[in-house]
């Protein structure tokens, strides 16, 4: 698999864990070796695995947890670090996210996430679900 | 200079160029070799050096260009890639940003910027300007 597909696959796994409310999958995809951080839409930034995963447990476990999907993802790879810019579809609305990954033992694991509002959308060709290999 | 200071210095140079409305400095600090992208608060994402720098020319050149300063910056380095999470002070309000850098010929150059709203603030000790060496 080309590295860009591997990064997009890791990114898709993040949104799959979010949509499935699968906290174990969410814990597994965040790096344990590298420092992690997370900026949920409108929140203060969170630093460190404990605070980041506690926030995901709260979001995933909430009764009104959003139905989320990733659209229009683009990966950029710089050696063993990569980031993805993608839209997050929530109902009829979109957010825009930056997701940073590092390669550890051939797996791309998340080290940072920022999501915030956007006036844009992924365009007609990217509104459908991405093809999964 | 430790690498974390070098990354924070590059990050500070970005906000200095923004505050000084110095488009030449802004052009110089964005990578020319690597693909770049930028998500201004609430905007659709921009990809490629031309679109990104055109957006900065419009923002910096606008009569109401904001008086901006960086506060509470934290750098994370992963080999030749790094990112900074920092607050952006605009008047009495704050935004929160992720800025990604790559090391090119010993210089850290920006490849990605996302800024969005935050309920947080940098805390009392980080509201003052950072020390510059």
CB of A73 less than 8 A from some CB of B: no
Q: Say which of B34, B44, B78 has its CB closest to residue A34.
A: B78
- Determine, yes or no, domain membership for B128: no
| Domain encompassing residue A116 | 3-120
Residue B104 lies in a domain: yes
Domain-embedded: residue B129: no
pLDDT band at A129 (very low <50, low <70, confident <90, very high): low
Whether residue A103 is predicted with pLDDT greater than 90 in this model: the reply is yes
Give pLDDT tens digits for A73-93: 999 999 999 999 999 999 889
Q: What is the CATH number of the domain that holds A74?
A: 3.10.450.50
pLDDT, position B64: 80
Q: Which of B129, B130, B127, B95 is nearest to B114 (CA)?
A: B95
pLDDT at A131: 46
Q: Is residue B62 part of a domain?
A: yes
Low-confidence ranges of chain B (pLDDT < 70): 125-133
CB contact under 8 A, B100 and A96: no
Residues in Cβ contact with A110 at an 8 Å cutoff, skipping those fewer than 6 apart: A10, A14, A29, A30, A31, A36, A99, A100, A101
Q: According to the model, what pLDDT value does residue A101 have?
A: 98
Tell me whether residues A39 and B74 touch, CB distance under 8 A. Answer: no
Residue A88 DSSP SS3: strand
Q: Identify whether the C-beta of residue B15 lies closer than 8 Å to the C-beta of residue B69.
A: yes
Establish if B38 belongs to a structural domain. Answer: yes
Q: Average model confidence (pLDDT) for chain A?
A: 92
A127 has a pLDDT exceeding 70: no
In a domain, B132, yes or no: no
Report yes or no on B43 lying in a domain.
yes
DSSP letters, B54-115, are HHHHHHHHSTT---EEEEEEEEEEETTEEEEEEEEEETTEEEEEEEEEEEETTEEEEEEEEE
Please state, in angstroms and rounded to a whole number, the distance separating the CA atoms of residues B50 and B58. Answer: 12
pTM for the complete prediction? 0.93
Tokens of B132: 């510059």
pLDDT at A98: 98
* Residue A132 in this model has a pLDDT that exceeds 70: no
In this structure, are residues A127 and A71 in contact, taking their beta carbons and an 8 Å threshold?
A: yes
Q: CB under 8 Å to B27, separation ≥6 — which residues?
A: B53
Helix (H) or strand (E) holding A118: none
Residue A65 pLDDT > 90: no
Looking at residue B66, its pLDDT comes to 78
Question: Which residues of chain B make contact with A45, given a CB cutoff of 8 A?
Answer: 85, 96, 118, 120
State how many domains chain A has. Answer: 1
The model's pLDDT over B57-67, given as tens digits with 9 standing for 90+, comes to 999 999 887 78
Q: Is residue A133 part of a domain?
A: no
């Amino acid at each position: 698999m080309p590295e860009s597909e591997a990064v997009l696959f890791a990114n898709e796994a993040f949104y799959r864990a979010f949509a499935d409310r699968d906290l174990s999958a969410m814990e597994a995809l965040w790096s344990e070796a590298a420092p992690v951080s997370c900026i949920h839409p409108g929140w203060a930034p969170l630093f460190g695995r404990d605070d980041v995963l506690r926030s995901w447990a709260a979001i995933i476990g909430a009764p009104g947890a959003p139905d989320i999907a990733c659209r229009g993802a683009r990966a950029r790879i710089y050696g063993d670090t990569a980031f993805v810019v993608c839209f997050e579809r929530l109902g009829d609305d979109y957010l825009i996210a930056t997701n940073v990954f590092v390669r550890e033992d051939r797996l791309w694991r998340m080290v940072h996430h920022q999501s915030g509002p956007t006036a844009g959308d992924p365009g007609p060709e990217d509104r459908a679900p991405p093809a999964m290999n």
